[in-house]
Amino acid sequence: MVNGYQATSLKEALDILGREPSVVPYGGGTDLMIEADDNATYLFLSKVPEMKQITEDTDYVRLGAACTFTEIMESELAPSLLKEAVFQIAAPAIRNLGTIGGNICNGSPKADSALVFVATDAKLRLASRRGERVIPISEFYLGRKKTVLAEDELLAEVLMNKSGLDNYYYKKVGARDALAISRVSFAAVLTTAEDKIVNCMTAFGAVSDVIIKRADIDALLTGKTLAEAKAIKEEYLAAYKQAIVPIRGRISAEYRKAVCMNLLNDFLLSKGI
């Protein structure tokens, strides 16, 4: 028998978590089912309306943490880059259950939706009975499977910028075309205005203990024309070659690094750099 609470509102979920911080938040359970614990007490979030909505305001598309990958794919508000990434997650049965909140909070550098959120500088709304805080997702991860989420906090919502995400690049490299865990994944966005690069954002997944994002290196291209960016392309690539230090595993570090550099170069070429 599964022990747990079925929350029907965010307030109820936070009250339960505040009283019993040992409960395990449960969205779709696609990760938790793999390591099921008969002694665990779960906090089921699939019927919390505030965590199931996809809305927009002046600046952001706001994605409830309990939204499934399928719901995101079917949403008219979700950015195309995010839709492309979640479409390549597992099979339809997993996409129908799996949630972005679980994908983020699992703390895996291989998480496909988390990669996109990191690449695009998304923000996370964290809630508890004590109040709320909104932080950049880049501040959320402390290491593999380690986050800043407090025991009494839930990830309630992900905030993505409404503009500046159309000119994107996304690649996932796996052992096969479908149902594959990333060996290396890469997401990037290049925003231009009046022939100048306004913003360059890149992120690499499944390479290190956390998703790799180096805004300081990407800033080398900011303010440059495409011609000027071409002139410093080798400097930019060299900086990333030094910065990317892959972990060793079933896939060699040398392979991961070579794929990262190939994807980065292909991204630049595809955008005229």
What is the domain-level CATH number for residue 131?
A: 3.30.465.10
Query: In whole angstroms, what is the distance from residue 102 CA to residue 89 CA?
Result: 13
230 and 175 co-located in one domain = yes
Q: What's the CATH code of the domain at 175?
A: 3.30.390.50
Overall size of the chain counted in residues: 273
Residue 124: strand pairing partners: 135, 158
The number of domains in the chain is: 2
Query: What does 101-170 look like in DSSP terms, one character per residue?
Result: HHHHHT--TT-HHHHHHHHTT-EEEEEETTEEEEEEGGGTEEETTEES--TT-EEEEEEEESSS-SSEEE
**Residue 86 host element (H or E):** helix 80-87
pTM of this structure: 0.94
Other CB atoms within a 10 A radius of the CB of residue 217 amount to 18
pLDDT of residue 30: 86
Residues 32 and 125 reside in one and the same domain: yes
- What range does the domain containing 129 cover? 3-161
Q: What is the mean pLDDT of residues 93-108?
A: 94
**Average pLDDT of span 73-84:** 97
- Whether 253 and 176 share a structural domain: yes
Domain boundary among 161, 186, 211: 161
**What's the rounded mean pLDDT across residues 30-52?**
87
Q: Which of the listed residues 113, 143, 161 is the one where a domain comes to its end?
A: 161
Same domain for 22 and 156?
yes
| 86 and 208 assigned to the same domain | no
Query: Which tens digit of pLDDT belongs to each residue from 219-232?
Result: 999 999 999 999 99
Long-range pairs for 71-75 at CB < 8 Å and ≥24 separation? 72/100, 72/113
Do 225 and 144 lie in one domain? The reply is no
